[in-house]
Amino acid sequence: MRKDGSFEMDLASMTITGLRSMLDKREISAPELADAYLERIAAVDDKLESFITVTAENAKKAADSAQEMINKGEASPLCGIPLAIKDNICTDGIKTTCASRMLENFVPPYNATVMEKLEAEGAVMLGKASMDEFAMGGSTQTSAFKKTKNPYDLGCVPGGSSGGSAAAVSASLCAAALGSDTGGSIRQPASFCGVTGLKPTYGRVSRYGLVAFASSLDQIGPIARSAEDCALILNAIAGFDPHDGTSSRNAVPDFTAGVGMGVKGIKIALPKEFYAEGIDDDVRKAVLDAADAYKAMGAELVDCSMPSLRYAVAAYYLISSAEASSNLSRYDGIKFGHRSEEGESFNDLISHSRSEGFGDEVKRRILLGNYALSSGYYDAYYGKAMALKQKIREEYEEIFSRCDVILTPTAPTAAYGINENISDPAKMYQADICTVTVNIASLPAISTPCGYTAKGMPIGMSVIGRKWDEVSVIRTADAFERDFTRQPAKI
């Protein structure tokens, strides 16, 4: 306690499991915990810009309700835990902008299913985190409102599109966060910001209330300080949802079941293409050192190959842009989204509304998607991308016939400078080479820190698992995290 009676704690060292213990032992109350994070946001976020909207009053009310549940002995693992929510997840009565002027004033009249589940658990939402516009980007610099910085170096990007969520966790502005992952948008920012991010199997978590980018690839998942914390959040948000036709009816296991079990006897594959030219030397070394650490723990390393990796980025951007062009066609300024005050005809109004509402990256992907789907080009581009999607799935199946999980770098580099790649879309797209195949094949994967560059920037590694086997993915990441010392963010 401070002299004035207010609460003070080292937020940077706190995990959900640690906070749960403190709350249950009455060492801190849920309102005190929420206030501590809100104070941290007020002190730091003007530099970091990780939140588009801070919901302080709502957070305090939620914290009061959570404390009532704790006092009654009815607390769930997430009761009273302060979270940030990516701003493409609908929140009843609270703005959901997708970091776009097209939805600048959109207030959803309903909650996404994941929000309903978190509220039932007694979780406390601190606010809506910034992101790349409509989740299109890998830097959070395409946001129309808050261009988030990296907590390890404010001159670097936090990754994207869930950069606001990852930066908020990394800078101790929340205990954990929700993001969405279409081609690496949870894992890559988790890697850049030195935190842990989990992309579940497609269909494991309901997408109802997630503003769509590419519907066959999008998946909501957690970003936190540990694999165990990610498992606790996934326990809360996973499961079948009748509102989402793609959500799975598969039984939901306890995702913490493998925590603390180690990796003895587990077979870990190392696809050679993920360690080839194009991967920075310090990234390659850090991940291979992690592989050696797993071997020392009793895991077996298996060499393998994924020849289709060289075509994966092209396939991903064709598929995702095609779906984006369809999903974003609803924003015309008449039925949905920003409405221009210019335009003398119906078509002029739509043109002006979209020109004013969408940013450059969103326009670029709409154009690419429409081109790929147009008459005369469908078979040459989109059709071939879908064929490659099947080929990538087959290659993963072959690898998993010989191993339990796959270990790769999360990104070819550590976080780069804010202005370094923004003007080169092709270079930005190629930076997704290590993550996109997971979404194409609908697999689960987790990114966790495995080292740091000479400049102190985090390096992430990814553990990829079979469909529906998040337990093994979490178990493998947890085993490494227990002996790895994280360096705190500098902000």
Residue 426: what pLDDT?
82
How far does CA 432 lie from the centroid of its chain? Answer: 14
Residues 53 and 163 in one domain: yes
- Tell me the pLDDT band of 424, cut-offs 50, 70 and 90: confident
In DSSP terms, 199 is beta-bridged to 445
Q: pLDDT tens digits for 320-352? A: 999 999 999 999 999 889 999 998 899 999 999
- Tell me the pLDDT band of 275, cut-offs 50, 70 and 90: very high
Q: Which residues of 189-227 are buried (b: 16+ CB within 10 A; e: fewer)?
A: bbbbbbbbbbbbbbbbbbbbbbbbbbebbbbbbbbbbbb
What is the pLDDT averaged over residues 403-413? 98
Residue 34, domain member (yes or no): yes
Residues 217 and 178 in one domain: yes
Residue 242, domain member (yes or no): no
Q: What domain range includes position 17?
A: 11-237
Residues 280 and 342 in one domain: yes
Position of tokens 């670097």? 156
Q: How many domains does the chain have?
A: 2
Residue 1, domain member (yes or no): no
Q: pLDDT tens digits for 111-150? A: 999 999 999 999 999 999 999 999 999 999 999 999 999 9
Residue 370: what pLDDT?
95
Residues 166 and 278 in one domain: no
Q: Is 335 a catalytic residue?
A: no
- Tell me the pLDDT band of 8, cut-offs 50, 70 and 90: low
* Residue 270 to residue 100: CA distance in whole angstroms: 39
Sign of the Cα pseudo-torsion (103, 104, 110, 114, in order): positive
Q: pLDDT tens digits for 45-90? A: 999 999 999 999 999 999 999 999 999 999 999 999 999 999 999 9
Last residue within a domain, chosen from 237, 256, 275:
237
CA distances from residue 147 to 46, 47, 195, 207, 282 in whole angstroms, order as listed: 11, 10, 19, 25, 27
Residue 12: what pLDDT?
81
Residue 3: what pLDDT?
40
Q: Which residues of 279-317 are buried (b: 16+ CB within 10 A; e: fewer)?
A: beebbbebbbebbebbeebebeebebebebbeebbbbbb
Q: How many percent of the chain have pLDDT more than 90? A: 93
User: Is residue 56 a contact partner of residue 31, using CB atoms and an 8 Å limit?
Assistant: no
Residues 228 and 280 in one domain: no
Residues 197 and 309 in one domain: no
pTM higher than 0.85 for the full model?
Answer: yes
Residue 70: what pLDDT?
98
Residues 275 and 198 in one domain: no
Residues 208 and 336 in one domain: no
Q: Is 462 a catalytic residue?
A: no
Residues 62 and 200 in one domain: yes
- Tell me the pLDDT band of 416, cut-offs 50, 70 and 90: very high
In DSSP terms, 181 is beta-bridged to 219
User: Is residue 273 a contact partner of residue 306, using CB atoms and an 8 Å limit?
Assistant: yes
Residue 52, domain member (yes or no): yes
CB neighbours (10 Å) of residue 424?
10
Catalytic residue among 29, 76, 86, 447: 86
Residue 332: what pLDDT?
93
User: Dihedral angle at the C-alpha atoms of 79, 474, 136, 369, nearest 10 degrees?
Assistant: -130
Residue 160: pLDDT above 70?
A: yes
Q: pLDDT tens digits for 252-263? A: 999 999 999 999
CA distances from residue 9 to 15, 100, 142, 195, 401 in whole angstroms, order as listed: 12, 35, 34, 20, 47
Residue 268: pLDDT above 90?
A: yes
Q: What is the mean pLDDT of the chain?
A: 96
Residue 400: what pLDDT?
98
- Tell me the pLDDT band of 2, cut-offs 50, 70 and 90: very low
Q: Is 161 a catalytic residue?
A: yes
Catalytic residue among 143, 161, 170, 308: 161
Catalytic residue among 76, 185, 321, 447: 185
Task: Find the CATH number of the domain harbouring 113.
Answer: 3.90.1300.10
